[in-house]
Structures are given as structure tokens and as C-alpha cells.
Amino acid sequence: MFTKKSPALRIDEADLKCKSRSGCDFFGNPEWDGYCSHCYRKERERQQNDQKKSPNRGDSGSRTSADSPLSLAVAKRFNKFEEKKQQQRQQQEKRNKFSKLASSLRKSTSIRDTGRLPEPWLEQSPEVERIKQDYATHLASLSPELRQLINKYIQGLCRSVCSDANNISADELSEKVQKFYQILSKCMDAHNINQELKESVLDYCEKFTMTVLHRNLFCPPTTTDEEKDLAIQKRIRQLNWVNAKHLDCRINETSEEVRDLVYTSITDLLGMDSEKAPQDKLQAVVKCCRNIFLLLQSSVGGPASADEFLPALIFIVLKANPARLKSNINFVTRFCNASRLMTGEGGYYFTNLCCAVSFIENMTAQSLNLPELEFEQYMSGEVVPTSTWDSALMMYEGISLMYEHIAALDDMHKRADSVLEGTQLLQNTMKKFVFEMKLNVEDILARTQITLNSSEKVPTDIDTENPLSELLPPPITPQVIAGGSQKLTSFLASEKEALNLPGITKYAFPSDSELDALGTDSTPGDGVLPLPISDSQEFLLTPSSTYGFSSLDELATPDELCAAQASLNFVQGLSAVNYDIDISDTCSDSSAGLSPHPSFVSMPEQKENSSCIPQETGPASLLDTSESPTSKLLLPSPMKPVIPGPGGDSGEGSSPPVVSLTTAHSHSEEESELKTVDPTVGVSSLTSNSEYQGFTAQGWKIQSIPCDTGPSDLNSNKKSKGDPAN
């Protein structure tokens, strides 16, 4: 084989020819020193003869060259070496003579080697062990003699096959094996073994021997199976373009079930190569074919006939392109128990497989009902048919993917719809809410507007009614304060707060005066009046506190707050002036805990800082506080009345303190109340406004004081601001 193959690798044929000068026309072999086998043997014989003679010659040579010591030493050494070699050769020759197999020495040893080998295999290979175990029960039911006999047969077969595998043709091997099966069968018959047991024992023998001898029998070197394998593989690869339609094969490629079955049958067919025993290979084919019938059943709609089956099988073989297909087929045909298996179902399917392979091998344009040219084009790969199995599969996969996506999209669409609905609902509710809110707001505004209008009107009125407001001032605060201050001082003295007195007194004045004015002009809130009177302790606070309560009521309603904010525009700067003191107080109050007392306490502190001018500090501080949102919110209502006062600026400046106090209280004491307060309180606010008016009028009169305080106030404000921070 090697000699046959090697030429392909060499370039020049002349180089390969036998080296001998005799002009031998055979090819040489590197193993044989470049001679052909014939010449090599001749050459060797000649050499041997030469060597036999050479020792004598060598001896004589050594003698002749004994003159030079150096050459002698070399010759001696060489002689020793030669002697050794000769001894070895002689021993070998002796051995050869004894064995009397000199010519076939290599063969005989190889036979002995391989002959011994299979027996160890029997024990070692796990596969063989498994087969032994599988059939242990069947074998156990045999009589010991028969078992021994069977074992003998098996061993005999293994030995003979192993020894001859490389020498005899595959057909002879096949004959040997088939004979072995027949002998076993007869032997079983002779022992009167029932059919079932016989079958299984035969099965065992076949499986066992074939597994053991698989290496020797599968694709034996004497055959060209391997080349055929490659050829069919290449052929199938070339025919890759053939699809079910070309074969008139009714495979419903688009059905998923069918597709799965196609894949299973392909896998089954591929599995044939991995099996060792022929019946297992056959079983793989049967499995594959049954799957083909199944897929045909679903494609055709009923049991498929051979007319449908064979094309389908061809198709499957083409798509599977199984490894070593030819070798496997030959292995099964040669070494399968033909009488037993080849007539049954397995045989039928196997025959079909052979048919399919033969069809593939001999496929022509005619057999596919294609024009010759087209076939050639397909085969050479010039043209690729549009509807190959792969493209169909790809398309199908694409389509199925599309469907999946469509389903997913549908789902998403639904979800989106529900989300949209939800948003719509939410929007509606929001709109409704907004609408309701608007309504509510309008409703409330309708109520609050009154106050606004009144407040707005008030200023306008005030502007016009300047003379009227001027009428109010009569209660001159300084005087009243003086009286009040005395009372307060006395009271405060009892309370041990000397420092506070001046501030308080001064502070109280306007409030008291206002109260009086209010009380006279318009009836203030019921609660307002009694408080200052009843609570002696809070009397100090009364002016502020009373206002605070009334103002609380006013401020409580958000509407009013809004109104206040609106009104702020006018008032801002002015109203702020007086406010600050109070707010700073409130801050301190809140920190202190109790609102009324601390406020006063803080006030005095401020005054201490400012030392002399408590009132001035008041307004100054208010200016600062005006920046704070609370003051802004709270201010307007009181302010409005202020504006109408005689001098816009002056009135504003004077009025705030009261308001500020009220706001302070409202924040510090009862924020919660703010909300709860009824709109009706607006009336009270009105009253308070009216009070303020009065007060503003007073303030207007007092006007001079805030004007003076302006600069100094700023300083005090800063201080006051700093205090709460501290």
C-alpha cells in the first residue's frame, strides 16, 4: 500500500525506481535502502556473504597493518565490535533455524502477538463487560457444557479473525463470521434450546464477538472502505443543494413537529457510527427509519408507503451525511447475522438505506428530473437553488420568530392600552380634581373676595375718607400708654421683670389705644375684649394677644392669606416696618416655649441693646422681618387699613406692630387653629381691620416716631436677627 501511495508524494519517478544497477524496473523503497524487495534481498545476501568472508579478511588485514600501533589499536577495537556483531548474528541465525520459520519470521511473531491480545481485551474492555452482564442471565440458563462450547467457539473466532484480519479479504472474513453464526445456531439446535433463548444467546455471541473484533473488522485494511467513505461524504456535500422537492419527498418542512422529527432521525442515523455491534447499528437505522415514518405520517396524513419513504430516507441521508457511512454499511452487510436480521424489519430498513446510498452515488440530472445543465451548475456550485432546506429552515425560523415577536407586541400593545386607559382615567380624575379645585377656589374666592374687596375698598375708601380717619386719632396713644404703662409696670414689678417694663409699656400703648378705639368704634371679637381684662398676667400681652386672637381668626382662612398676599403688593414695605419687632419676638418666643412672656422678654432685650428707643427698635425690626414670608403673609390684612390712613407711609408704619403681634402669636401658639378657623371670622378680621384703621390713624399721628427710627432700626434689626440665631 505504501509503495502504491508514495509516488503521489514524489516528483520524479526515476528517483523511485530500484537502485540496483541491473536496471530493475520495480520501484524501490526507503526501508529497503532504495532497492525493490527483490534486489534488496539479493543485496543483503551478497552483503552477508561478504561479511562472512570479511572476518578472515579483517584478520589478515589486522595482521598486515600490525606495523603501526595506532592502526592496530583501532583495528582491535573494530575487531571486538565486529566479533560482537557476528555473535549476535549467529545467535539469531540459530534461533531462526530452530524455529524453522526464518522466512516468515515477522509474520509468525505478529500472529502470536495479536493472537494473544484479544483475550486480555475480553476481560478489560468495559463495553465487553457490560455485554457480558447484560446477557448473564441468559447465559446462566444454558448448560455448562454448552456455555463452554460457545466460549470455545467465540475464542476460536476471535483468534482466527485477529490473526487473519490483515491477510484475508473482507469477504473471506465475512464468510468466516457467518459460518460462526451458523455453527452456533446449529449447536444451539442440537442442544434443544428454545427459540427465545437461542435468539438471545445468538445475539450475545454476535454482540460480544463484534465488539471485541470491531477494531479488526471495521473498515479492514484490505478494503477500500475508507476511500469510499470519503467519496460518499464528498458526494453528499456536493449534493447539499438537493432539497425535498427535488426528491419528490413530501416532507412538510414548515411544521415544527416534522422539523423536530427530521432532526431526531438525523441524529439516529449519525448514531449508527458510534455503535459497535452490527445489530446495534441496525437498530440505529431502524430507529431513524421509524422516525421518518412518523414524520411522513404527519406530513402525508396516514401510514406512508415505500414510495414516500425512500425519498425521505434519501433526504435524511443527504442532510445527515453520516460519518463512515460506507464502512458502516459494509460492516453490517458483512458481519451481521444475515439469516436472522436481514429478513426482518431491520433488514428492510437497512436495504432501504443501501438503496438511498446507491441512489445518492448514482444520482444524475435525470433521477432528479432536472435539466442536465441545471444539475451541472448546482453540482459545480455555480448556482445555488433558491429553496434549499437551509433557506427554508431559516425562513421558517424567521417566520416563527416573527410570530413570537408579533405575539409579544400584541401583549405589549395590550399593556400599553391599559396604561393609556389608566393615564386617561388619571387625567380625568385630575381634570375633575382641578375643576373641583377651581370650583372650590372660586367658591372660596367668592367668599374671600368680599374681604379683599372690602380691604381694597377700604384703602380706596380710606384714601377718600382721609378726613374720617383723621377723625379717629383722638385717642392719643402716648397718654394712654402712660397710664397703661404705670399699670403694667406695677404689674411687671410684681413679676420681677424690671427690664421688660419700658419696652412693654411702650409697646402696649398703641395696642391699648387701639383696643379702646376699636371697642368704641366697632365691636371687636367677643373673645378679644374679655381677654385683656380677665387675664391679669396676660394683660401685658393683651394688646398684642387680643389682636393676635382676632388676627388668628382672620389669618386662619387660606382665603384671607391669599388676600393678604394680594394686598401685600401695596403694603409690603410699609407694613413691614412695624412688624419686625414682633416677629423677632415670636422667634424668641418659639425658642423660649411660651409665647406671651418671652415675646415681651425678648423685646426688652432688644431694647436693652438699643438701650433707649424701644419703639423705634420695634418698627425697625419689623422692617427686617417683613422679608420673612410669614410676615408677608400676615401683614397685608392689617396693612390695608393702614394705607387708608392719613399719610400712606406714616399710617403703614404705625399700624403693623399690632398685626405683627397677632401673627407672632398665631404662628407660635396655634398654627393648627389657622386652618380650622371659619370664614365667618372674616367679620372679626374686618373688625380688626377697622381696629387697625383706627390704629393706623393713630400710627399716622405717631408717624414721626417710625421716621426717626429708620436708621437706628436697621441696626437693631440686625441685632434682633442675630439674637434668634444665637
Partner 1 sequence: MSGADFKVVLLGSEDVGKTSLMKRYIQDRFQCRPHQNTIGAAFASRTISTRGRQFVMGIWDTAGSERYYAMSQLYYRDAKAAIVCFDLTELVTFDRAKQWITELRNHEEDCKIYLCGTKKDVVDDGIKAPALSHEKALQYAKGIGAVYMETSSKTGLNVGELFQLIADECVLPSIHNRDDSIKLRPSPNKNNACCLAS
**Alpha carbon distance 412, 408 (integer Å):** 6
**Do 393 and 253 touch, CB atoms closer than 8 A?**
yes
**Do 605 and 723 touch, CB atoms closer than 8 A?**
yes
The sign of the torsion formed by the CA atoms of 559, 565, 570, 575 equals positive
Element (H, E) at 377: helix 372-380
Among 28, 220, 347, 651, binds partner 1 (CB under 8 A): 347
Spell out, one character per residue from 168 to 207, where the chain touches partner 1: x when CB under 8 A holds, - when not.
-------------------------------x--------
Q: Is 396 in the site for partner 1 (CB under 8 A)?
A: no
Among 150, 219, 289, 659, binds partner 1 (CB under 8 A): 289
For 48-87, letters b (16+ CB in 10 Å) and e give eeeeeeeeeebeebbeeeeeeeeeeeebeeebeeeeeeee
Among 40, 208, 218, 349, binds partner 1 (CB under 8 A): 349
First and final C-alpha spacing in the chain: 111
Q: Is 343 in the site for partner 1 (CB under 8 A)?
A: yes
Minimum CB distance to partner 1, residue 282 (Å): 7
- Please report, for residues 475, 488, 572, 602, the alpha-carbon distance to residue 505 in angstroms, rounded to integers and kept in the order given: 16, 6, 27, 14
Minimum CB distance to partner 1, residue 210 (Å): 15
**Alpha carbon distance 385, 246 (integer Å):** 11
- Please report, for residues 115, 174, 181, 217, 392, the alpha-carbon distance to residue 157 in angstroms, rounded to integers and kept in the order given: 11, 12, 10, 12, 51
**Alpha carbon distance 604, 578 (integer Å):** 16
Q: Which of residues 292-321 bind partner 1 (CB under 8 A)?
A: 293-294, 296-297, 303-307, 309-311
Q: Which is nearer to partner 1, 360 or 531 (CB)?
A: 360
Minimum CB distance to partner 1, residue 288 (Å): 12
Among 290, 447, 457, 487, binds partner 1 (CB under 8 A): 290
Among 28, 220, 278, 346, binds partner 1 (CB under 8 A): 346
The 3-state DSSP class for residue 617 equals: helix
Q: Is 210 in the site for partner 1 (CB under 8 A)?
A: no
Spell out, one character per residue from 355 to 374, where the chain touches partner 1: x when CB under 8 A holds, - when not.
x--xx--x---xxxx-----
Minimum CB distance to partner 1, residue 199 (Å): 8
Q: Which is nearer to partner 1, 159 or 290 (CB)?
A: 290
Minimum CB distance to partner 1, residue 421 (Å): 53
Residues 6+ away with beta carbon under 8 Å from 99: 105, 108
- What cell numbers appear for 56 in the block? 578472515
Contacts of residues 302-306 at CB distance under 8 Å and 24 or more positions apart, as own/partner, are 306/352
The sign of the torsion formed by the CA atoms of 262, 267, 273, 275 equals negative
Maximum pairwise Cα distance, the chain: 171
Q: Is 283 in the site for partner 1 (CB under 8 A)?
A: yes
The 3-state DSSP class for residue 17 equals: strand
Query: What DSSP state is assigned to residue 252?
Result: -
Residues 6+ away with beta carbon under 8 Å from 275: 281, 283, 284
> Which among 34-42, 159-167, 291-299, 430-438 is the span making contact with partner 1, rule CB under 8 A?
291-299
Minimum CB distance to partner 1, residue 198 (Å): 11
Q: Which of residues 648-667 bind partner 1 (CB under 8 A)?
A: none
Q: Is 425 in the site for partner 1 (CB under 8 A)?
A: no
Q: Which is nearer to partner 1, 228 or 340 (CB)?
A: 340
Residues 6+ away with beta carbon under 8 Å from 107: none
Q: Which amino acid is at 349?
A: Y
Q: Which is nearer to partner 1, 365 or 444 (CB)?
A: 365
Minimum CB distance to partner 1, residue 339 (Å): 9
Minimum CB distance to partner 1, residue 203 (Å): 10
Q: Which is nearer to partner 1, 39 or 296 (CB)?
A: 296
Q: Which is nearer to partner 1, 185 or 545 (CB)?
A: 185
**Alpha carbon distance 96, 94 (integer Å):** 5
Q: Which is nearer to partner 1, 121 or 359 (CB)?
A: 359
Minimum CB distance to partner 1, residue 348 (Å): 4
Minimum CB distance to partner 1, residue 281 (Å): 12
**Alpha carbon distance 632, 639 (integer Å):** 10
Number of neighbouring beta carbons within 10 Å of residue 148: 11
Q: Which is nearer to partner 1, 270 or 370 (CB)?
A: 370
Minimum CB distance to partner 1, residue 150 (Å): 20
DSSP-assigned beta bridge partners for residue 29: 35
> Which among 146-154, 269-277, 317-325, 347-355 is the span making contact with partner 1, rule CB under 8 A?
347-355
Q: Is 341 in the site for partner 1 (CB under 8 A)?
A: yes
Minimum CB distance to partner 1, residue 305 (Å): 4
376-228-322-319 Cα dihedral, nearest 10 degrees:
10
Binding-site size for partner 1 (CB under 8 A) equals 41
Minimum CB distance to partner 1, residue 193 (Å): 16
Spell out, one character per residue from 260 to 279, where the chain touches partner 1: x when CB under 8 A holds, - when not.
-------------------x
Q: Which is nearer to partner 1, 26 or 348 (CB)?
A: 348
Minimum CB distance to partner 1, residue 92 (Å): 54
Q: Is 351 in the site for partner 1 (CB under 8 A)?
A: yes
Minimum CB distance to partner 1, residue 397 (Å): 28
- What cell numbers appear for 717 in the block? 434689626
Q: Which is nearer to partner 1, 293 or 378 (CB)?
A: 293
**Alpha carbon distance 164, 150 (integer Å):** 21
Among 171, 345, 376, 678, binds partner 1 (CB under 8 A): 345
**Alpha carbon distance 238, 357 (integer Å):** 14
Number of neighbouring beta carbons within 10 Å of residue 26: 15
Spell out, one character per residue from 592 to 631, where the chain touches partner 1: x when CB under 8 A holds, - when not.
----------------------------------------
Count CA within 13 A, CB hemisphere, residue 709. 30
Among 93, 227, 248, 256, binds partner 1 (CB under 8 A): 248
**Alpha carbon distance 425, 422 (integer Å):** 5
> Which among 71-79, 121-129, 338-346, 678-686 is the span making contact with partner 1, rule CB under 8 A?
338-346
Q: Which is nearer to partner 1, 104 or 369 (CB)?
A: 369
Minimum CB distance to partner 1, residue 296 (Å): 8
Q: Which is nearer to partner 1, 160 or 252 (CB)?
A: 252
Among 198, 319, 326, 340, binds partner 1 (CB under 8 A): 340
Q: Which is nearer to partner 1, 325 or 686 (CB)?
A: 325
Minimum CB distance to partner 1, residue 367 (Å): 5
Minimum CB distance to partner 1, residue 362 (Å): 7
Q: Which is nearer to partner 1, 283 or 660 (CB)?
A: 283
**Alpha carbon distance 126, 121 (integer Å):** 9
- Please report, for residues 201, 206, 208, 673, the alpha-carbon distance to residue 124 in angstroms, rounded to integers and kept in the order given: 21, 18, 13, 100
Number of neighbouring beta carbons within 10 Å of residue 437: 11
Query: How would you class 335 by CB atoms within 10 Å of its CB: exposed for 0-12, middle for 13-18, buried for 19 or more?
Result: buried
Q: Which residues of the shown chain bind partner 1 in the complex (CB under 8 A)?
A: 199, 248, 279, 282-283, 286, 289-290, 293-294, 296-297, 303-307, 309-311, 340-349, 351-352, 354-355, 358-359, 362, 366-369
